[in-house]
Amino acid sequence: MIETMRQTFARVFNSGSNPEAFFSPGRVNLIGEHTDHEGGYVFPCAIDFGIYALARRNDSNTLRLYSMNFDGEYPVPFETKYSDIQEKLTGSRTWVNYPLGIASILMKHGYSLTSGLDILYNGNLPDGAGLSSSAALEVLTVRIFSELLGLGIDGVKAALFSQEAENSFVGMHCGIMDQFAVSMGKKNHAILLNCSTLDYSYAPLELGDCKIIITNSNVPHSLVGSEYNLRRTQCESALADIKRVKDISCLCDLTPNELDEYAYCVKDPVTLKRAVHAVSENARAKRAAEALKAGDLATFGRLMNASHVSLRDNYQVTIPELDLLAGLAWELPGVIGSRMTGGGFGGCTVSIVENGQAENFMNVIGREYKAKTGRKPSFYTTGSADGAGRLAL
């Protein structure tokens, strides 16, 4: 991978000093879905797939960007002066909005970008699969700026700047989970993150004789932007209704019993279902992390299944293809738990499967899913990885 990138780098950016190598993983969320924007807990881990970059300072004082995934038809890099970065681009080469968003947010926070940069990206994360290719691109770019321009930005700040770039430059009102997971990931661990305080702890991802299998429905999550922002608005409206009688700052301040008690305040039944999901999922995420720490994989798996049911019936962000994948998995031997992961409306499920049953899992699901939907699913097995940073080569 890196060798091919070196050749492309030399061709696209011409002569100059040798670039340095960087990597950012993607992430998979094990449980705690659609809780981050409601101040709740999430439990993701960084994965082995991600985005690589080669980068160096240049003396032209411009930002020059090229993606081997998206720019095949262009002979030259995208190029801009920092002072020309105003708002997001529409039309072609829109992937550059992520690195441009980062440069813009760094300048807004007073960092002086004292040198131009040449950056070549190349990833093996499937695009639109809900494995956080956007967050990976953002955090990777912060790391490159920080290391090559000596900005001294730590992992938590890198995640916050990346989320801000996505919210205010790209226009997706995501929570902090994805950026935090890809920035702060730790090999062989999942991260239990309180999204309201940003307190976090690492839990050893000890799966015994089981592994994580990610199944891609191969339905790109295209609606995720608009529907995601709508779900957030519905949660805000449930919060406003309850706040009239109870002093809370976010939905996940409530336990499921408390929500039950105050449910009468939420006038609209659909809005109430959104709140029921956020609050119950938050409780599941906390219990699941405890179960994993105690080595109780069976409870962890049942909570994963319950999470899918709530995302399907209360939050309504699954699609028939994701319900089919999870439903097939629940029937198979050696499946500890299975659920959709990420924003929804397409993308992947995450399953914990006994090693000895992994092949059967992929065979049966591959066959049944194809027969019922006409699409072939893709399978990825992954360990948990370290967060974004410079690669020692």
For 130, left (φ over 0), alpha (ψ -120 to 50), or beta? left
To ligand GLA, the closest distance from the beta carbon of 327 in angstroms equals: 21
To ligand GLA, the closest distance from the beta carbon of 256 in angstroms equals: 18
Catalytic, 178? Answer yes
* Nearer Cβ to ligand GLA (51/177): 177
To ligand GLA, the closest distance from the beta carbon of 344 in angstroms equals: 7
Helices (H), ranges, 165-211 = 177-184
Q: How far is CA 301 from CA 293, 307, 358, in A?
A: 13, 10, 16
Start-to-end CA distance of the chain, whole Å, equals: 12
* Nearer Cβ to ligand GLA (117/125): 125
* Nearer Cβ to ligand GLA (80/310): 310
CB 359 within 8 A of CB 22: no
To ligand GLA, the closest distance from the beta carbon of 98 in angstroms equals: 13
Amino acid at 131: L
What would the 3-class secondary structure string for 220-270 be?
Answer: CCCCHHHHHHHHHHHHHHHHHHHHCCCCCCCHHHCCHHHHHHHHHHCCCHH
To ligand GLA, the closest distance from the beta carbon of 138 in angstroms equals: 11
* All residues at 6 or more sequence positions from 383 whose CB lies less than 8 Å from its CB, including other chains: 47, 48, 187, 188, 212
CB 166 within 8 A of CB 255: no
Q: How far is CA 360 from CA 100, 184, 357, in A?
A: 44, 34, 5
* Nearer Cβ to ligand GLA (148/177): 177
To ligand GLA, the closest distance from the beta carbon of 135 in angstroms equals: 7
3-class SS at 47? strand
To ligand GLA, the closest distance from the beta carbon of 8 in angstroms equals: 29
Handedness of CA 8, 20, 46, 364 (dihedral sign): positive
Annotated active-site residue in 178, 199, 296, 313: 178
* All residues at 6 or more sequence positions from 260 whose CB lies less than 8 Å from its CB, including other chains: none
Residues binding ligand GLA (CB under 6 A): 29, 33-34, 36-37, 174-175, 177-178, 342-343
C-alpha–C-alpha distance, residues 94 and 2, integer Å: 24
Token output for 372: 């019922």
Q: How far is CA 92 from CA 80, 224, 363, in A?
A: 15, 20, 39
* Nearer Cβ to ligand GLA (277/287): 277
* Nearer Cβ to ligand GLA (80/132): 132
* Nearer Cβ to ligand GLA (148/279): 279
Strand-strand pairing, 116-123 and 62-67: parallel
Catalytic residue annotation: 178
